[in-house]
Each structure stands twice: as C-alpha cells, then as structure tokens.
Structure 1
Amino acid sequence: MSVSFVALLRGINLGAKNKVEMKSLKALFEDLGYENVRTYIQTGNVIFDNIVYDVLQLEHALRETYGFDIPVTVRSKAELEEIQQHPIFLKDQVYVMFLENEISDDQQTLLDSLIDDEFVVWHRRNVIISLSKNYHQTKFTNAFF
C-alpha cells in the first residue's frame, strides 16, 4: 500500500535563478518510480505516492538533471495532517519550517532562551511559530536553522 508524500524543494524558481520547469520535475519523479506525481504551481512542491522515498536519490537526480544542488525535505501526508491539528493554528500568524533533523536538547534550550513575544513549538523535525509581528522581523527564520 502506497503512502502520500510531499517533497519540498528549496531554492528553486526564485526570480531568474535556479529555474526548474514543473513538467520536467514531474517526469523526473515518475522516472524514479514514484507514482501519482503532481506538482504545485511553480513552488517546487511535489506530491507523490510510494511505499518509501530516498532523499539522497532525489537530490542526486535533481543535481544531475538541473546542474545545481537542490535541498529536499519530505513529509508524509499523515505528518502534515498532524502538524495542522496543533492548537497553535488557532492563532492568526502561524508559520511552519520543515527541518531535516530534529532539534537537539541543547539547541532547544538555547532557542527557548531567545523567545520573547513569539510562541514557538518544536514538533519533531518541524518548527511551528506564532508571531505577533511580521515574519521578516522574527529571529526564527530559515536562516536561523
């Protein structure tokens, strides 16, 4: 039985940089054996079904096809639904950052000490943030992690 996943490709289609056509991206995933592949506009988000996935295989195939490194993060449909059920989503400005690895206890202690008017939840490999200010004014951007 296959499972639905979302592959989040970072750093593509940003203005004129790192252009990736969604039609060729879809074909690449299909050539790698993934099923029911679809892309979401020009975001680099790829939805697919399979029993398993291999991030290293995906990143290697993307590098070979497009000529530049494209970091990939994958989440299952079940993981995304679990995140969406978190009570923090009752607030107005909520953002989720998807990390490759879980935050260590030492990192969490450091991050906890930096929180002021932001509410941050570490949920496995995901950081869920509720902000009282604009996202670009927070300390907790992707660059922080």
Structure 2
Amino acid sequence: MKSYTAILRGINVAGQKKVKMTDLKTLYESMGFKNVVTYIQSGNIIFDSDIDEIENIKTQIETGINHKYDFEVPVDVRTSAEFACILDVMPFDDIDLDVDGTKVLITFLSEQPSKSKKQALQEYAKAPERLLFGDQCIYLHCPNGYGKTKLSNVFIENKLGMIATTRNLKSVTKLVELSKN
C-alpha cells in the first residue's frame, strides 16, 4: 500500500464547486482508499491505496467527484514521496516559512511543459518575482503577494496550455508533514 497526496483544482473558491471536506473524505473511503486525511477547504487529501497507477487513481477520483457533485474537478495525484521531493528540492532556500510561507507558491502541472513554453512564461515574471521550473511544477516567489502578480493559476494554465493547481508553501509543507504521520 502506497501513500498518495491529491490536490483538487478550483473547489470552494468564491462559492463555486462547494465540497465539504468531511464529505470528500467519505467519498474517498467509499472508493476504497484508506487512512484518508483532508487539510483545509481547498481540496487537499492524503490517502493510502493499493492501486499503483496514478492515472487510474486520478480517473477514479475525478469520476467519483463528478458522479457525487455533478461537476468536474481536475485532480493532481502524486505519491506522497514525490510530493515531499518537490518540497525538498525547492530552489528558494532563503525563504522564512513563517514570514513568506504564503508568498511562495508551488504550481503543480498536469505535464512537463516544453522548453519554448517555459521560456515564454518566464518572461512574465517581473522582479522582484522569481519563477523557476521543477519536475512537473513551478516554484513561484511573489514578495508583493500572490494577489498582485500576473502569474495566477489561470494565467499559467493559459500560457502553458495545461491544467495547473497552485498551493502556497505553508500548505505544501503541512501536507508533507501530514503524509509522514
């Protein structure tokens, strides 16, 4: 049995696609997932599964949500070890989690973008912002706040032509911590 971390895109935002975490936990358990833990209302779930194919897990979760709630929600699923690795190799080693934990974001990408798409997106990062690509993710530091950057999740999706889901460093750190319990 492996531990996985799933993050849902676009639920409980501005009153749209409302999903209670207690209901989501029950849904995951009804699909056979074990040791299900949710974290905050934005759709972060840690769980165990015997299924080895991440694409099968992703499809099962997306289908289950669609059947229960009658709307589609993109889901990013990674092993908890892969999720932790994304945090471990974060290139911003000068960040204080307590001070800037909400100004550093990790955008999880549905696929690895091409070199040309990476270069095109990089041009939109304006100092003092920093944008660096990782393994199927983007590390983004917005010292003036995420609400003030052009590099929103929707903007990144549009420029890269793929699904993206963004979480701040505090949330990612907490999810990694929870996955180790």
TM score, norm. by length of structure 1: 0.87
Whether contact under 8 Å (2:35, 2:47) holds in the other structure is yes
The match for 1:129 is 140
Provide the secondary structure at the position in 1 that maps to 2:83. Answer: helix
Which residue, out of 88, 92, 112, partners 2:92?
Answer: 88
Identity of aligned residues (%): 35
CA distance in 2, matches of 1:80, 1:106: 26
Q: Deviations over 1:57-111 (max 9, x none)?
A: 2111110111111111112222222222223142243111111111111101212
Contact 2:125 2:151 in 1 (8 A): no
| Deviation string, structure 1 residues 5-27 (Cα, Å, up to 9, x no partner) | 11111222234332212222112
Alpha-carbon spacing, 1:134–1:29, altered in 2? closer, same or farther (3 Å): same
Cα distance in 1 between the residues matched to 2:82 and 2:68: 29
Measured in 2, the distance between the counterparts of 1:111 and 1:143 equals 12
2:160 equivalent in structure 1: none
Equivalent residue runs for 1:1-145 within 5 Å: 2-51=1-50, 52=52, 53=54, 54-85=57-88, 86-91=90-95, 92=100, 93-117=103-127, 118-144=129-155, 145=157
Q: What's the RMSD between the two structures over aligned residues? A: 1.8
Counterpart CA distance in 2 for 1:19 and 1:102 is: 29
Letter in 1 for 2:153: N
Runs of 4 or more consecutive aligned structure 1 residues displaced over 3 Å after TM superposition: none
Aligned 8 A contact 2:34 2:49 in 1: yes
Unaligned runs of 5+ in 1: none
**Partners of 2:58 and 2:75 within 8 A in 1:** yes
Deviations 1:23-79 (A, max 9, x none): 221121112121111212322211101243421221111101111111111122222
Cα pair 2:124 2:151 within 8 Å, conserved: no
**Aligned residue pairs, count:** 144
- The separation in 1 between residues aligned to 2:75 and 2:68, in whole angstroms, is 14
Describe the SS at the equivalent of 1:139: coil
Structure 2 residue matching 1:102: 3-state secondary structure: coil
Normalised by the size of structure 2, how large is the TM-score?
0.71
Higher helix share: 2
Rounded to whole Å, the distance in 2 between the matches of 1:90 and 1:74 is: 28
Residue ranges of structure 2 left out of the alignment (5+ in a row): 158-181
